[in-house]
Structure formats: C-alpha cells, structure tokens
Chains A and B, each alone.
Chain A
Amino acid sequence: MSFRQPSVLPGFGLTFGFTTFFLSAIVLLPLAALALAAASMHWSDFVHVVLSPRALGSYRLSFGASFLAAAINLVFGFIIAWTLVRYEFPGRGLIDALIDMPFALPTAVSGIALTSVFAQNGWIGRYLEPWGVKVAYTWLGVTLALTLISMPFAVRAVQPALLEVQRDLEEAAETLGAGRLYVFRRIILPTVLPALLTGFTLAFARALGEYGSVIFIAGNLPMKTEITPLLIVIHLEEFDYHGAAALGVVMLGISFVVLLAINLLQAWGRRRHVKAAH
C-alpha cells in the first residue's frame, strides 16, 4: 500500500496537512501540556499523588462504573435499537428522538433529576429504601448516571448495523430449520458484533469523561463515591495543579490503553474475515 492514494478529493498534501495541524492544535497540544505539567513534578511526589489510597479508590470507581454502564447499555441499547429498527408502532418517531435527549441535556440537569428521583425521599428511592437499596450517594447512583448519559452512543452505533441484517438471511436460516435463538446467535449477532463493540467503546469512553451528572448523585465520599475527574477538580481547587495533572495523565494512560485494546480487538476480528477472504 502506498502512502498516497488517488481519491476524488484533490490536494492530498493540503488535506493531510490540515488533519495533522488540527489534531495537533486541538488534541495533542493540550495533552502534551498536561504531560509536561506532570513531568515537572518530582518522581516521588508523582507516585505519592497517583498511588494514594484515595486516588486508587477513585480509579476503581471511575473505570468500574463506566465499564458496568457500558455493559448495561450494550444489552439494553441493543434491545432498544432492535425495537426501533424491526417494529412499526405508533410513537416510534418520538421514541427515536427521545434516545438523543441525554446528548442535548446539560449533564448537571440529568444529575439533579436522577438525584431527586433516587434520593431516599425521591419518587423511586422512597420505595427502594425499605429494601435496603440505596441508589443516590452510592456507587449504584454513579453507575446509573453514567448509564443514562452514555446510552445514546450504544443505541446509535447498533441501529445502522441492525438495519443491514437482511430479513431473508433470517428467513433462509428459518427454512433450514433454525429456531429463533439459533438464528439470533449464529446469524444476527455475528453481523452486528462489530457495531456492538463500537457502541460499547463509545459508551465507555463517554462515561469515563463524565463529570457533571455524577457529582450530584455520587455524594462524593472519599474512597467510596468519588470519581477520578472529581478528585482532579478537588486538587485544582487546592491550587495543586501538578497533582491534578498527575491524575490526568494516569487517567489518560489507562483510557488510551483500554480504547486501544478494544480497537485492536475489532481490527483483529475484521482481519480474521479478510484473511479468510484471501
């Protein structure tokens, strides 16, 4: 493969230049500044901040809750997308539009709304209380908030893929004797798996970066319901810019590794197909 490939858009040099410039100015430069700020710390200070019990607790919550939220959305996002793609019912357009609401809503609003509903005296929290289930101000609430704001990513990623699953493939499988579960497992799932993975990645990434909605419902107890972004803000408020940068770098590193791993997994899946095709 050559570096340069003919294309309908002229000026590869120009467009490639723009691409690198844009990525540098908007993404790489701030990240570099962040890394630089952290690098100016003394190594022992860095380790002290980054491996403090409070920091470790926040990593666990941030990554754990995000992963859980993405996993929940993987399942329910798929079901929602399936319903919207496969069935014709009154109000479908409305529901379809509703999916995007978490996109548009200021996240703080979602946080306040969730808190008022799930607080001990809230609409739903009231009934959960006697069962000993506390949502607001626990890790459960964090997961809930992250699920809400990352839901559209999962649905929107799977929807187009489901549209492409041809009906006659399922019908062919049916005439060959396959039951519904078998058709789902062997025909539908393999076709939408890449899209599902993409949806998962997007939802996970979005949840990791979330701040606004979580701080309202989390209660922000150190070690228990404190997410990493909040810890960073706390450092900032104490004018500890270096500490904030150090946590930022760790978060950046882990996120990058996780996203890279998922992307590689997807590429591996694709390559397996292509490889079989040669």
Chain B
Amino acid sequence: MSITLDQVTKHYAGAPVVNDVSLDIGDGEFFVLLGPSGSGKSTLLRAIAGLSGVDHGRIALHGRDVTHVAARKRGVGLVFQNYALFRHMTVAENIEFALRVRHMRAQARRQRRQELLRLVALEGLDQRLPAQLSGGQQQRVAVARALAHKPEVLLLDEPFGALDAKIREELRRTIRQVQRELGITTVLVTHDQEEAFAMADRIGVMNLGRLLEMGAPHDLYSRPATRFVATFLGAANLILARCTPDGVQMGANTVAAAERPPGVEEREVVAVVRPEEVEVAASRDALSSAYLARGVVNEVVFTGALESLRVRLEDGAQAPLLAQANGDAGASLLVTRTRHEQRGFEIHPGQSVAIGVRRVHVLPTPLSSFTACAASAALADALSRQPLLAELAERMKTRIAMRAEPQLGVPDAACAADSPFVGTTAIASQTDCAQRAEWLLRRGAKDLLVLPEQAAVPQRVLIHWMGEAARSATLAASASALRHLSAEAVYVGIFPEQSASAHPQHGMRELLDARSEAQLAHGLEMRTELRFGDVAQQLARRLAEAPAQMLIVGVAELTRFAERFRGLLDGGQWPVLIVYRGSP
C-alpha cells in the first residue's frame, strides 16, 4: 500500500473535523477525495502531507510510519488551489527549488527542469516570472515543482478551483497523463463530482469529517450505500418504498430492484431512482419499463445534450412518497431525457404523463423516515419541530410523518391508528417515557427515538446492545445515524461487576469483535470503552458525564423493559435511539 491511514482523527475547537478515517491507497492509484466544503477532505490531505498533525491514528507512506515525521521529510509533492508559486522566483527557480534544497548540481538541476517542463508542456518558459503566466500555466508550473524531487506521493488540493472550464479540462487531461506516465500514487481533493468521475480510479466520499463510502466511480454511482453519496454524486430521486419479496413497492406499484437488498424482512426502505432511469410516456401502455404513477410536468429545462424535467406525481394516496419533500409542497420527480428520447415524445409544461422506472437501487440504511408520535395531533406536530429531529430529517433528506396515539402508554390499550409503524418512531422524553417506549415497542415499533425537548445535535454517540439478536441491527442503525452526525462513536461494553476479575479477557474479546464487525459490515469506525456494573445504571452515568451525547441502544427482549430503562429514559436530558430486534 502506498498510503495507509488508520483511524485518523483531527479535532478543531473541540469538534472533530476528520473523524476516524481509515483508508488504503494502492501503488500508482489515482484516488479522489470528494466532499462538500467543510467535510474535512482538505484537512485530511494536509495531514497526509504533514502540514497539520493528527490527534489520533496513524499515517503510513509506503509502509513507513510518518505520523510524527515533518512535512519536509515525508517525500510528498503538494499542489495548492492558489498555485502557491514563489512570486519572486522565475519558473526555473520555482521548479528547481526542491533540487536546490537537496544541493543537486546545476547541470543535473537543469536537466531535470527541462524534463519536467516537457512533461507539463511548458517548454521554453523557464525564465518567466509567475505573474507573467496564465492561471493554467501557473498551475502546470506548480505541478512540475511538486514533482521535481520525485516524490512517492502526489497530493492535489482542489487544483482546478481557480480555473475556467476549458482550461480546467485541459489541465485535468495533462495531470492524468503525467500521473499515468510516472505511475505515481496521487490523491486529489475536490468538491466537483464530475471532476472526480473524470479522473479517479477510486473515489472516497467525505461528509462531516467522515469517509462515508469508497469505490470505483461507476460502482458508487450505481450502487451508493448512503443517501448522501446518492445525492452528492449526481442527482437522485429518493423514494420511501416498501421492500417486499416481489420487489420494491413504491406507492401502489411494485418494481423489481436492481439487486436484492439485504435482509428478508418486509420493511420501509429508501429507494434511489436516478433521473435518467425515469421514463415518461403518454400512457401506461406506451412505457417500456415498470409503471410507477401518473404525473403532470411542471417544468422543462433545456440543458444542451439533456432535457431536464420536473414531474409532479398524481394518483393521490396511491402515489409513491418522495423522501426529500417534507409535506407535499414541491414534491416532484426529477427526470432527464436524451435527445433521442425527446424526439420520440415531445413534452410541454402542464402535460399529463405516465411515469415508468427502469432501474431502482435500494439503500441499505435502516433509518428510512421518521414518525413523530404523541398523545394528540398537536403534540405530535410540536414534536416534529424538535431541533434534533428536524435537523436529522433535513440531513437525511427524509420526511417526518405524524401520528396521534391518545392511549399512548396506557397498558393493554390498542393502537388508535391501524397502520403499522414504519421507519423510526420519535417520542418526547418525559416522566413516564420508559412505559410509553415499551408500549410502542410491544405494538410494532422497531426503531424508537426518545427526544428531550432541548436536545441538539450530539458530538458523541454511545453505542451498546443487550442481547446478540439486536447486535447487527444496532450497528447498522448506528452506522446510518453517524453518517449524518459529526460525532465520534464510542462502543460502551458493560459487564457485571463480578466478571471483572473472573473473565477480563472475555470482555476484551467481545469489545474487539464488536469493533471489527462495525468496521467490516458497516464501515463504522468506533472507539471502545469497558465498564462494569448494571447496564442501565452505567449508561445513565456515562451519559451524565458530558453534554451533547446521544445513546443508541439495542434491545432483544422486552421483559421488564419499563422498569429496567426508567432511570435511563424518564426525564433524561439525552436523546436515545432504541433498536428493538427480538430473538427469532
């Protein structure tokens, strides 16, 4: 491996900017770190270059641990967005800088410089000053300068940001060519997904300091695992669907999924439909793909090669639910059509069309949507505006439904609504919260979010499960939740007091197993802690230790649930996500 990052973490003013990033980049690979601004990608690149230290974790270059090695001894070449050329030096002096530092002879320096200038197609400009070059030429000089000392790794920090489109493309090609010719391992940081697709062997998508997903451009685009990647890499329609044995049921109609999603149980899922996978036709019979619904065209935008449509779904209660839109306003499906499609069927705003779907991808995330549940509609409405819930729904690009249960918490009372609980049910944290939670869990709620009135976005998430049956589901829910939070994950292992002396190694093994499963199955990096004593008591104590913490707890059985969780839930100041998966 050329670059190996192991659990690299960097805090800034208390908040993690780079959060537990582990990554292997192979020899000669062109790796692109893609993410919005503030996602931590540049900080990570600077950490690899040695320009900023890390708080935790290790960095190795070609097997050599460089975590505590100064930038000048790491042997990397770095190219900055604003070129960072030495303005008082000529092109030749700039390029030879690294060689001069290494006391290379003038003759050899000149030779190497000519070689590099040829490589970046700037022959003959040796004696110019940076100010006399165009932006594109300056960046070429910067690339040549970064390569002069034959670094093992080339790092590019948004190198095309300040250039206009034409030059950008040209320079992209040059850099890709140079990279192939030298076979040098390269990491490029960018926020431009098109650039990432055009250049990368492999892309790593970052958000909120976390490396969310990694993969070849094509795989990431067609089979994203997270909502963020699905919507950040190109446009996507997110639809709340039901996963059934026959396929993916969206509204009244079922479409076969591209690949079977994991887990056989029937549940609510988030389906991704790319705009180009949507087909529109005059009638249902004219569709060549699976029928989804009817809709009215709201907007037609001509963008050159493609035509972009917004189609408002009809069919009332039968219509598929779009996840992005909270409430019904603005809920429209994004469609793009090629010239060929446009010629076959011309469309004008206001036209009614039949909509078909060619390909559906189901996200593995277990947290599909939220339902604010309370004793009355008014209370449910108030709960839906709770800051953490609203923020989560916004970040997850999903909707918050509302549900009134007047008998909530009353023993032996039945549900008022006869529809099943879907997605994550949210309730307010109050005095008899544990009892209400048990009531809901016994009536079909699987994922339950308990929210104190003032709870905000947490900075640390504690994870624990009771019973092996809930383990995998808890890890999946944690991974999904943490992708949307800039928080560190901590697995809290708790063992009965007496086992502390008897089987310490057993506890440690369980802890390590939990970590490796989180890493392998869910791409979730978490820290571990070991505690001894009563589970609910220890968790409550741990939560009270610091502000801005959240708990995700897995539960496999409900006997004496309210009694056991009273101390943890009733009037607690921390949000708790309960994941209930009974033993089969």
Contacts and interface: CB of A to CB of B under 8 A. Distances in A.
Contacts of A277: 129, 131-132
B78 interface: yes
B9 to A, nearest CB: 22
Contact of B129 (A169, A176, A190, A276): A276
B109 to A, nearest CB: 13
A206 B326 CA distance: 70
A22 to B, nearest CB: 36
A266 interface: no
Interface in A219-278: 273, 276-277
B32 to A, nearest CB: 20
Interface residues of B, number: 30
Contact of A176 (B51, B72, B87, B90): B72
Contacts of B503: none
Contacts of A174: 50-51, 70-72
* Residues of A in contact with B, size category: 20 to 34
Nearest to A178: B101
B97 A168 contact: no
Contacts of B76: 175
Interface in B68-103: 70-74, 76-78, 80, 82, 84, 86-88, 90, 97-98, 101-102
B96 to A, nearest CB: 10
B434 interface: no
A176 B84 CA distance: 12
A182 interface: yes
A176 B80 contact: no
B485 interface: no
B101 A175 contact: no
Given A168-B80, A171-B51, A177 B149 contact: yes
Contacts of A177: 72-73, 98, 101-102, 149
B148 interface: yes
Given A173-B97, A174-B71, A190 B88 contact: yes
B140 to A, nearest CB: 15
A178 B84 contact: no
A250 B283 CA distance: 102
Nearest to B129: A277
B78 A172 contact: yes
B149 A168 contact: no
B49 interface: yes
A171 B45 CA distance: 13
B464 interface: no
Given A171-B80, A174-B71, A175-B76, 15 more contacts: A166-B84, A168-B82, A171-B71, A173-B97, A174-B50, A174-B70, A175-B49, A175-B78, A176-B97, A176-B101, A176-B148, A177-B101, A187-B86, A191-B88, A273-B88
Interface of B: 49-51, 70-74, 76-78, 80, 82, 84, 86-88, 90, 97-98, 101-102, 127, 129, 131-132, 145-146, 148-149
8 contacts: A171-B84, A172-B80, A177-B101, A177-B149, A179-B101, A186-B97, A187-B86, A276-B127
Interface of A: 166, 168-169, 171-179, 182, 186-187, 190-191, 273, 276-277
